[in-house]
Structure 1
Amino acid sequence: MNNQKQQKPTLSGQRFKTRKRDEKERFDPSQFQESIIQGLNQTGGDLDAVTKFLDASGAKLDYRRYAETLFDILVAGGMLAPGGTLADDVTRTDVCVFAAQEDLETMQGFAQVFNKLIRRYKYLEKGFEEEIKKLLLFLKGFSESERTKLAMITGILLANGTLSANILSSLFNENLVKEGVSAAFAVKLFKSWINEKDINAVAGSLRKVSMDNRLLELFPANKQSVEHFEKYFTDAGLKELSEYVRNQVCIGARKELQKEIQEQVLRGEPFKDIIFYVKEEMKKSNISEQMVITILWSSVMSTVEWNKKEELVTEQAIKHLKQNSPLLAAFTSRGQSELTLLVKIQEYCYDNIHFMKAFQKIVVLLYKAEVLSEEAILKWYKDGHLAKGKSVFIEQMKKFVEWLKNAEEESESDEEEEAEADEES
């Protein structure tokens, strides 16, 4: 009976499932292995000859069925037993990644072999990704030099798009993380990847598969902090990756903060409670007041269903902002925060067409509510504004700015008169 047959141990889920019509033919990769190894050995290690041999063999040999064996041979020189060791009795070849020289040029050459093979036999793409995921789980079974070469070639293949960043999920394996294998391997991998492209390309690939917020998982739970990540990767010469991760964590914290503020405003929580919560979050996540005022503005403005009529929306906005002005005032203690808020209001009025005529009224209201100071408004008017709708908004503000300037001059002359009177007395 079929289920009494002695099956060789395999890593569960890694062997390719056979199709119904193939079941008559026994799954026997050893003959396939012999053919591949013999052909590789005849190339004398010339990678162009390797590519030509693999290209031609695809027509004769069953790559689809023995993809895992094929990739095991090209990486490790022979079929791998569970855990990543080469079985003693298997024939092996030195024309493979693990036996190659440990330098960038050699690894780039091998990356081209994989690249061309997968371009030629597109159906191998998924199998190759599964193979790399498996090899990463086997890291502890490889020597230091083998790990380095695997990290280098994986970085190159991620950079040229042959692999997707999905394969990194294997590095979050609990045992690899606990023993520090994941982080050490990731350093080499990211160095190679960034060397081929740059940090922006790396970030794009990570974002595409939602890996951009998971890199802290390369460390055990008690060390999953930005500080620990930064120190480890900066010391290893990957400062830009550290900065990228810090930035990702900050973006995550800002999104969380915005969501929470919106909910608190909608629930009608007392301002003092919201202000206390925001100040605690600022300390905890190291968020600046300028960033907070931007978040607050967006949160406050997104809690209302705005009227579509221009004349009604201004009235609605003034009423809403008057109610929420104490909240904004709590986070404009610095001139730079006030200017940031002004620029944000300008952007908002420009992007939401019904608000185009409301800009001046909003600014005047916030001036009266002591959210914005005259210095910040004058600075915005002079050179602190954006180009978006600049002429429209500058024109709207003209009279108010003139009034501010006159008020300033009057108060200055009042002060001078007082000073003169003091001197005379």
Structure 2
Amino acid sequence: MIFVGTCGLEFSLSTAVTPRKSFEADNENCDVVIGQARQCVLHDHDFEAITNKLIQAGSSLDYLKYADALFEIILAGGLIQPGGSYVDDGVPLSPFSILQAKHPASVDDLKNYVQVLNKLIRRYKYLQKPLEEQSLPTLLQYINRWSSDQRDKFAVTVGLLISQGIVSATCLQTLAKDHLVKNDTSITVLAIIFRAYLADLSMEHLATSLKRGNIKDLLIFFPPNRRDGKLLDDFFRKENIPQVADWYTKRQQVLAKETIVSELKDLCAHEESTENIISSVHSKLEENPLPDTELIQCLWQGLMASVDWSTRTDQIEGLALREIGRFAPVLEAFSKSPKVEVALINAVQVHCYDDTRIMKAFVPMLKVLYNKDCVSDQAIIYWHQKGSKPQGRQYFLKATEALVKFLQEQEDSEDEE
């Protein structure tokens, strides 16, 4: 192959499985390619020429058979033996490899190397799978043995390979191995990979790549005693990629909401007491905290989802009022501020807008919440003046005019006294 300056590579890989005449023929082809490619490398890293030689070599060499060796040489400069050290065969490391890129590691410089791989794999599509499933995971598991400079170059390359769609993020699962997680090796490498990816693409794009790569939780890359959302948030902000921290926080909040909604449905279905429901919610919040305004909307959704709404149309309004009265103590326990109260009113507004059967029950529902101390008169007035949601706004504002006027007059009367 082109990168070691000797055909011994072909011999060592094929002796066990290839007849003598076959691998000798391969070696002769290999020698020719080596000589041509070395000329390309020596001429100031002519990436286009190297790419062409690699593609030409694939017509005579069995790249699929030697895919692991091919990629180890391009990525690491030589063959890697179990344990992570280079094979001691007396062959010098290749002058063309990722680890021979400019120092310090640069996205712009390493894009040239990645482009070589990209063009090679586009020509020989069967090479994509061994790169993703074998070569990258193998090299990543030994990354703790490399110098910081080598680690940086390789991590940037992995980030670019994933961002350009050459491989999926599945290879990153290797970084969850215990020997890499300890001493922060995994998260340090992961931060470099993410930074390279985000140099050209958005966090939303990266999130999609992680999902497709079955990377479900970034905490698995942290040491067990540091698997905490706050520590993760701080780490990625210090690494100057706050978008990763923001995305993770939002994602955890979504998961927390789904968990609470599901839990509420189960608790209500089993007719648990108000005290047990409130205690369960607090327990979930300890695991995954939520902003108060997000929580109150989540509680409303969960409680309403537990109701069987398959009743007669002329009875559904009465059902809604009864259920709200039953659930009011739970909502009241978490309505801690005017801002949360407005968020609750908005949750009711959107719910009534989505379920047109109970649109006319909006004002009676609001009155129940007011009488049960879930929302205050100030919250209702503020909501009416400038806090409402766009969904059905004109209808709901018109419907609540009389209630708001009453509350304002009541407030004015109390002020006069």
Instruction: Provide the TM-score with structure 2 as the length reference.
Output: 0.85
**Aligned counterpart, 1:230:** 233
Tell me, yes or no, if the aligned pair for 2:260 and 2:299 is still in contact at 8 Å.
no
User: Structure 1 residues 232, 411: closer, same or farther in 2, change over 3 A?
Assistant: closer
Tell me, yes or no, if the aligned pair for 1:77 and 1:98 is still in contact at 8 Å.
yes
Counterpart amino acid of residue 314 in structure 2: E
Counterpart amino acid of residue 248 in structure 1: R
Q: Report % sequence identity.
A: 27
Once the two structures are superposed, what CA deviation does each residue of 1:46-89 show, in whole Å capped at 9, x if it has no partner? 10111222222333322222222221121122332223332222
Match of 1:157 among 133, 155, 161: 161
Once the two structures are superposed, what CA deviation does each residue of 1:172-194 show, in whole Å capped at 9, x if it has no partner? 01111124321222222222222
SS of 1:287's partner is: coil
Q: How many angstroms apart in 1 are the aligned matches of 2:356 and 2:22?
A: 67
Matched, 1:352 2:360: no
Matched, 1:401 2:414: no
Tell me, yes or no, if the aligned pair for 2:182 and 2:222 is still in contact at 8 Å.
yes
Q: How many angstroms apart in 2 are the aligned matches of 1:357 and 1:209?
A: 47
Report how far residue 312 of structure 1 moved.
Answer: 3.0
User: Structure 1 residues 354, 208: closer, same or farther in 2, change over 3 A?
Assistant: farther
Q: How many angstroms apart in 2 are the aligned matches of 1:181 and 1:27?
A: 43
Q: How many angstroms apart in 1 are the aligned matches of 2:390 and 2:20?
A: 71
Tell me, yes or no, if the aligned pair for 1:33 and 1:70 is still in contact at 8 Å.
no
Report how far residue 308 of structure 1 moved.
Answer: 6.8
SS of 1:357's partner is: helix
Q: How many angstroms apart in 2 are the aligned matches of 1:151 and 1:33?
A: 30
User: Structure 1 residues 79, 328: closer, same or farther in 2, change over 3 A?
Assistant: same
Tell me, yes or no, if the aligned pair for 2:264 and 2:306 is still in contact at 8 Å.
no
Matched, 1:70 2:74: no
Range moving further from structure 2, 273-282 or 383-392: 273-282
User: Structure 1 residues 113, 259: closer, same or farther in 2, change over 3 A?
Assistant: same
Return 5+ residue gaps in structure 1 as ranges. Answer: 1-14, 416-425
**Aligned counterpart, 2:140:** 136
Q: How does 1:321-340 map to 2 (within 5 A)?
A: 321-340=324-343
**Aligned counterpart, 1:99:** 100
Q: How does 1:19-418 map to 2 (within 5 A)?
A: 31=27, 34=31, 37-44=34-41, 45-89=45-89, 91=91, 92-102=93-103, 103-130=106-133, 131-211=135-215, 213-283=216-286, 285-307=288-310, 310-413=313-416, 415=417
Q: How many angstroms apart in 2 are the aligned matches of 1:82 and 1:320?
A: 65
Tell me, yes or no, if the aligned pair for 2:195 and 2:241 is still in contact at 8 Å.
yes
Q: How many angstroms apart in 2 are the aligned matches of 1:191 and 1:98?
A: 18
User: Structure 1 residues 161, 353: closer, same or farther in 2, change over 3 A?
Assistant: farther
Instruction: Provide the TM-score with structure 1 as the length reference.
Output: 0.84
Q: How many angstroms apart in 1 are the aligned matches of 2:351 and 2:80?
A: 59
SS of 1:123's partner is: helix
Tell me, yes or no, if the aligned pair for 2:136 and 2:171 is still in contact at 8 Å.
yes
Q: How many angstroms apart in 2 are the aligned matches of 1:380 and 1:25?
A: 85
Tell me, yes or no, if the aligned pair for 2:260 and 2:302 is still in contact at 8 Å.
no
Q: How many angstroms apart in 2 are the aligned matches of 1:338 and 1:33?
A: 75
Tell me, yes or no, if the aligned pair for 1:282 and 1:288 is still in contact at 8 Å.
no
Once the two structures are superposed, what CA deviation does each residue of 1:190-245 show, in whole Å capped at 9, x if it has no partner? 2222223233322232233342x421111221121123333433333333323333
Report how far residue 24 of structure 1 moved.
Answer: 7.3
Tell me, yes or no, if the aligned pair for 1:293 and 1:332 is still in contact at 8 Å.
yes
Report how far residue 34 of structure 1 moved.
Answer: 4.9
Return 5+ residue gaps in structure 2 as ranges. Answer: 1-12
Once the two structures are superposed, what CA deviation does each residue of 1:233-278 show, in whole Å capped at 9, x if it has no partner? 3333333323333333343333323322322222111112222332
Counterpart amino acid of residue 335 in structure 1: P
Tell me, yes or no, if the aligned pair for 2:183 and 2:223 is still in contact at 8 Å.
no
Report how far residue 279 of structure 1 moved.
Answer: 3.3
Tell me, yes or no, if the aligned pair for 1:78 and 1:90 is still in contact at 8 Å.
no
Q: How many angstroms apart in 1 are the aligned matches of 2:21 and 2:268?
A: 67
Tell me, yes or no, if the aligned pair for 1:104 and 1:152 is still in contact at 8 Å.
yes
**Total equivalences in the alignment:** 395
Counterpart amino acid of residue 109 in structure 2: T
User: Structure 1 residues 220, 64: closer, same or farther in 2, change over 3 A?
Assistant: same
User: Structure 1 residues 391, 235: closer, same or farther in 2, change over 3 A?
Assistant: closer
Tell me, yes or no, if the aligned pair for 2:30 and 2:61 is still in contact at 8 Å.
no
Q: How many angstroms apart in 2 are the aligned matches of 1:108 and 1:308?
A: 63
Counterpart amino acid of residue 66 in structure 2: Y
Report how far residue 301 of structure 1 moved.
Answer: 0.7
